[in-house]
Chains A and B, each alone.
Chain A
Amino acid sequence: MTTNILLFKITLLIYFATTILYLIGVVSRRDRFRQNAVYLLIGGFVLHCITLVVRGFTTGAIPVASMHESLSFFAWALVGTYLLFYLRYRTVMLGAFITPLALVLMIIGTTTSAQAPTLNPILDSWWFPVHVTLAFLGHAIFSIAAAAGVMYLLQERMLKSKKFSGLFYRLPSLDTLDSMNYKCLTFGFPLMTMGIISGAIWANSAWGGYWRWDPKETWALITWFLYAALLHGRLTIGWRGRRAAIFAIIGFAFLLFTFFGVNLFLSGEHGFRNFTGQ
Chain B
Amino acid sequence: MHIVIVGLSHNTAPVEIREKLAFAPTAMERPLRQMLELPVIAEGLIVSTCNRVELCAATKEPDAAMAALRRFLAEYHEITSEEISDSLYDYQGEDAIRHLFRVASSLDSMVLGEPQILGQIKTAYGYAAEFKTVGLILNRFLHKAFSVAKRVRTETGIASNAVSISFAAVELARKIFDRLDNKAVMIIGAGEMCELAARHFVANGISKVLVTNRTFERAEKMAAEFHGKAVHFESFIEHLAEVDIIMTSTGAPNFILGKRQMEEVIKRRKNRPMFLIDIAVPRDIEPKVNDIDNIYLYDVDDLQGVVQANLKERKKEASKAEAIIEQEIGQFHQWLGNLEVKPTVIALRQKLDEIRQQELEKTFGNLKNLSSKQRKSIEAMAGAIINKILHQPTAVLKRAQNDTSSEDYVDAVRVLFDLPSPIGDDTEIKPLDDTGQE
Contacts and interface: CB of A to CB of B under 8 A. Distances in A.
Interface of A: 29, 155, 159-160, 162, 164, 166, 168-169, 171-176, 179, 237-243
Contacts of B177: 173-175
Contacts of B178: 172-173, 175-176, 179
B88 to A, nearest CB: 38
Contact of A155 (B175, B272, B306, B316): B175
A155 B316 CA distance: 22
With a 10 A CB-CB cut-off, give which of A29, A162, A164, A175 has the most chain B CB atoms.
A162
A242 B294 contact: yes
A273 B296 CA distance: 52
Contacts of B160: 169
A213 B172 CA distance: 50
B313 A241 contact: no
B271 A238 contact: yes
Contacts of A238: 269-272
B164 interface: no
Given A179-B178, A238-B272, 7 more contacts: A159-B172, A162-B305, A169-B313, A173-B176, A174-B273, A238-B270, A238-B271
A172 to B, nearest CB: 8
A239 B309 contact: no
A174 B167 CA distance: 19
With a 10 A CB-CB cut-off, give which of A29, A175, A176, A179 has the most chain B CB atoms.
A175
Nearest to A239: B271
B302 interface: yes
A162 B174 contact: no
B313 A162 contact: no
A168 B175 contact: yes
B86 to A, nearest CB: 40
B161 interface: yes
A131 to B, nearest CB: 36
Interface in B176-205: 176-179
Nearest to B301: A162
Contacts of A159: 172, 175-176, 296
Contacts of B290: 160
Contacts of B179: 175
Nearest to B294: A241
A203 to B, nearest CB: 40
